[in-house]
Amino acid sequence: MNNKIKSKKTTGFMKSNYIRAFLKKYKFNYLLGVISLIVVDIAQTRVPIIVGSVIDQIESKNFHMTLISSVIIKLVSISIAIYIGRIAWRFFIFGTGRSIEKDIRNDMFLHLEKMSSRYFQDNTPGEIMAYMTNDLEAVRMVLGPGILFLIDVLAMGTITLYSMIVQIDPLLTLAGVVPLLLIAVSVRIMGRENRKRFRNKQEAFAELSKFVQEQLTGIKVIKSFVQEEKTIDAFERNVKRTYEKNMHLIKIQSLMHPFMQFISGLALAVAIGYGGYITIKQRITLGDFTAFIQYLSMLVWPMVATGMTINIFASGAASLERVESILNEPVEIKDSENLSNIDTLLGSIEVKNLNYKYPNTENQVLKNINFKIEKGQTLGIIGRTGSGKTTLVTLLLRLFDVDKNTVFINGEDLLNIPLKLLRENIGYVPQDNFLFSDTIKNNIDFGVRKGEMDKIIEAAKDSVVHENIIDFKDGYETVVGERGVVLSGGQKQRISIARALIKNPEILILDDSVSAVDTDTEEKILKHLNEKRKGKTNIIIAHRISTIQNSDKIIVLDDGKIVESGTHKELVHKKGLYHSIYEKQLLEKMLEEQK
Ligand SMILES: Nc1ncnc2c1ncn2[C@@H]1O[C@H](COP(=O)(O)OP(=O)(O)OP(=O)(O)O)[C@@H](O)[C@H]1O
Ligand SMILES: [Mg+2]
């Protein structure tokens, strides 16, 4: 199963229930916008009739000064109505487009926050960013300009045609309009191609974003392996592809507009020929004739706007699909139906016959895992790299889901524990120690957000990083990663530990969290843990025996299986894998000391 965001067949923008709900929510704004727009359109289409009547009166020598002032008053009133109406529709229609854009963006982020780790493995941040910017913009274009053009095309087209047919001459209207219909037909045909090319362009753009995001994240690796040139080549290929897709789209769009202008010129020629003829024959007046020419040029805009509207709607439909594919992505990890009603979580953990494969993979990462620890005990986990240590603890946090009846916390099936309760009661120090580009203070306070400085300092002291922090010029206010403040691996690890400790969680999980600190500092941290975590459960993953030797229970993982378990003493006696790791590390230590 491939879970990547994909474009399917476009189903049409207005058919989407999601969009309809927004249209309903903002119906009064749209209604006011549409009314203002129609007022503007009616006002505009009055002008040719007024000008026509002036011409007729001049021709019949009936024209006198009192008429001039009434014409001026009419024209000025029309201008004022158009002026106010245009401000109003801009505000109501464009403004509403922006409001909906804001709502959708919030919806998308909210939904993304619920997605599982699996989802973010399949969809990279770069791609998701492209959907949240480029595609959302295309959707907004429909909700603002798209809807405006659509209404304008319909209102302006209808009113103009009505004036031409009823007030001037039906046959002449037919002669002028038939060529213009060619515009609508050709636009319809080209619109399909346009939509396809637009979708390709957006996909190429998403690829490009993904590429840039990844390369910039890995810039240090690129530089240290002197791969800049190769990376630049690959970037250029990516840019070229996006450029080609863009050009492909522009080609069809640039064909459309001049074609429309050509056709409208043709229509004008027909109208002048036939209209001139019937004016000479006095079937219509000179005023009618000039009014008709003006109307005909007024019809060109609705025809052109038809093309633009179709483009906007086509692009919007393709983009909406991608936006909705994010919104409709099911939440994989959520509270179960038969949720337990516990409201506190105690840290006893039992794992029974746990087997695990990552989603969409074949590799059995954990094999028949069984162990039990009581509340207040410390579990040490050791094992070769890739043996499944991190996997085991991320499963406890439900970052990925296990089968029913395999993991129990507090005697409850893990899957039935309210997700919020579970995660609030676990303090997790991930192996990669991610910190946000915020102050050290806020990074430590991240899980509690109370801003209690004494607690923050206490946590930092317990994780033996306080002394480092106060050495920075801005102390706890130092912003991580800014203005040259780059934290060392060990500092990051200890800030991550402080972030977990400040929660005073029932279960604390340290995933290889002291690997980058020296053994003296490690000893201090472990001593603090021993004092502060009395009665609470700890899981400590390590590669060094020294980190876990005092644990109540130690399990040794190898290739996804528990190969040994017991206390340090028991395991050393067993002379198995644990013993051989122990011997090796003792030897290393001795050699180290001899230096
Ligand atoms: N998100 C993932 N999707 C698929 N496979 C994964 C994923 N994470 C880890 N694996 C695989 O699961 C196995 C166990 O990985 P895990 O990270 O649990 O090992 P580990 O014991 O923590 O290793 P280390 O000591 O290097 O941290 C590895 O074979 C790894 O390739
Ligand atoms: Mg690991």
Under 8 Å between Cβ of 446 and 417: no
Q: Does residue 362's CB lie within 6 angstroms of at least one atom of ligand 1?
A: no
Radius of gyration of the chain (CA): 36
Which pLDDT score is estimated for 8? 45
161 Cα–ligand 2 center, Å: 72
Which ligand 1 atom minimizes the distance to the CA of 384? 25
Q: Which residue has its alpha carbon closest to ligand 1 atom 19?
A: 386
pLDDT digits (tens, 9 = 90+) for 46-72: 998 898 888 888 888 777 778 888 899
Instruction: Read off the CATH number of the domain in which 100 is found.
Output: 1.20.1560.10
pLDDT digits (tens, 9 = 90+) for 290-327: 999 989 888 878 877 887 788 788 889 889 998 999 99
Which ligand 1 atom minimizes the distance to the CA of 392? 18
Q: Is the pLDDT of residue 187 over 90?
A: no
Q: Which of 124, 357, 365, when mutated, tests ligand 1's pocket best, judged by the most ligand atoms within 8 Å of its CB?
A: 365
Are residues 519 and 439 part of one domain? no
362 Cα–ligand 2 center, Å: 19
- Domain containing 36 equals 17-327
Q: Is the pLDDT of residue 11 over 70?
A: no
**If you average pLDDT over residues 441-468, what whole number do you get?**
95
Tell me if 543 is assigned to some domain.
yes
- Which of 107-116, 253-262, 367-376 is least confident? 253-262
Q: Does residue 387's CB lie within 6 angstroms of at least one atom of ligand 1?
A: yes
Are residues 284 and 419 part of one domain? no
pLDDT digits (tens, 9 = 90+) for 392-427: 999 999 999 999 999 999 999 999 999 999 999 999
555 Cα–ligand 1 center, Å: 17
**If you average pLDDT over residues 333-345, what whole number do you get?**
88
Q: Does residue 386's CB lie within 6 angstroms of at least one atom of ligand 1?
A: yes
Burial (CB < 10 A; 0-12, 13-18, 19+), residue 404, is: exposed
3-state helix, strand, coil in the chain (%, to 5): 65, 10, 25
Which among 327, 359, 391 is the end of a domain?
Answer: 327
Q: Which residue has its alpha carbon closest to ligand 1 atom 1?
A: 358
Buried-exposed string 211-230: b where 16+ CB fall within 10 A, e elsewhere: bebebeeeeeebeeeeeeee
CA atoms of 243 and 271, how far apart (whole Å): 42
CA atoms of 398 and 426, how far apart (whole Å): 11
414 Cα–ligand 1 center, Å: 21
Are residues 265 and 143 part of one domain? yes
Which among 504, 526, 548 is the end of a domain?
Answer: 504
Are residues 464 and 565 part of one domain? no
Are residues 213 and 125 part of one domain? yes
Are residues 132 and 117 part of one domain? yes
Which pLDDT score is estimated for 180? 82
Are residues 256 and 394 part of one domain? no
Q: Which residue has its alpha carbon closest to ligand 1 atom 30?
A: 386
388 Cα–ligand 1 center, Å: 6
Find all residues with CB under 8 Å of 414, minimum gap 6, and list them: 396, 398, 402, 406, 407, 408, 422
Higher pLDDT pick, 31 / 300: 31
Are residues 521 and 490 part of one domain? no
Reported pTM: 0.79
Which pLDDT score is estimated for 68? 84
Q: Which residue has its alpha carbon closest to ligand 1 atom 31?
A: 386
CA atoms of 140 and 95, how far apart (whole Å): 10
pLDDT digits (tens, 9 = 90+) for 110-150: 999 999 988 998 898 888 988 899 899 999 999 999 999 99
Which pLDDT score is estimated for 592? 79
Q: What are phi and psi of 533, to 5 degrees?
A: -105, 25
Which ligand 1 atom minimizes the distance to the CA of 431? 27
Are residues 155 and 185 part of one domain? yes
578 Cα–ligand 2 center, Å: 18
Higher pLDDT pick, 391 / 341: 391
Ligand 2 ion: nearby residues, β-carbon < 5 Å: 389-390, 431
Tell me if 364 is assigned to some domain.
yes
294 Cα–ligand 2 center, Å: 75
Paired sense of beta strands 537-542 and 507-511, if any: parallel
Under 8 Å between Cβ of 132 and 108: yes
Q: What percent of the chain has pLDDT over 70?
A: 97
CA atoms of 23 and 482, how far apart (whole Å): 43
Tell me if 332 is assigned to some domain.
no
Confidence tier at 262 by pLDDT (50, 70, 90): confident
390 Cα–ligand 1 center, Å: 7
Q: Is the pLDDT of residue 5 over 60?
A: no
Which pLDDT score is estimated for 254? 85
CA atoms of 364 and 170, how far apart (whole Å): 78
Which pLDDT score is estimated for 401? 92
Are residues 63 and 125 part of one domain? yes
CA atoms of 336 and 326, how far apart (whole Å): 22
Tell me if 10 is assigned to some domain.
no
Q: If you average pLDDT over each of 6-15, 205-214, 573-582, which comes out highest?
A: 573-582
**If you average pLDDT over residues 182-191, what whole number do you get?**
76
Average pLDDT, whole number, for the chain?
90
Name the domain count of the chain.
3
**If you average pLDDT over residues 543-572, what whole number do you get?**
95
Which among 447, 476, 504 is the end of a domain?
Answer: 504
Q: Does residue 431's CB lie within 6 angstroms of at least one atom of ligand 1?
A: yes
Q: What are phi and psi of 538, to 5 degrees?
A: -130, 140
Q: Which of 389, 512, 558, when mutated, tests ligand 1's pocket best, judged by the most ligand atoms within 8 Å of its CB?
A: 389
Q: If you average pLDDT over each of 16-20, 131-135, 538-542, which comes out highest?
A: 538-542
Instruction: Read off the CATH number of the domain in which 497 is found.
Output: 3.40.50.300
Are residues 299 and 403 part of one domain? no
Tell me if 8 is assigned to some domain.
no
Q: Does residue 325's CB lie within 6 angstroms of at least one atom of ligand 1?
A: no
Which pLDDT score is estimated for 264? 82
Tell me if 6 is assigned to some domain.
no
CB 468: neighbour CB atoms within 10 A? 16
pLDDT digits (tens, 9 = 90+) for 209-246: 889 988 988 888 888 888 889 999 999 999 999 999 99
Q: Is the pLDDT of residue 344 over 80?
A: yes
Are residues 106 and 225 part of one domain? yes
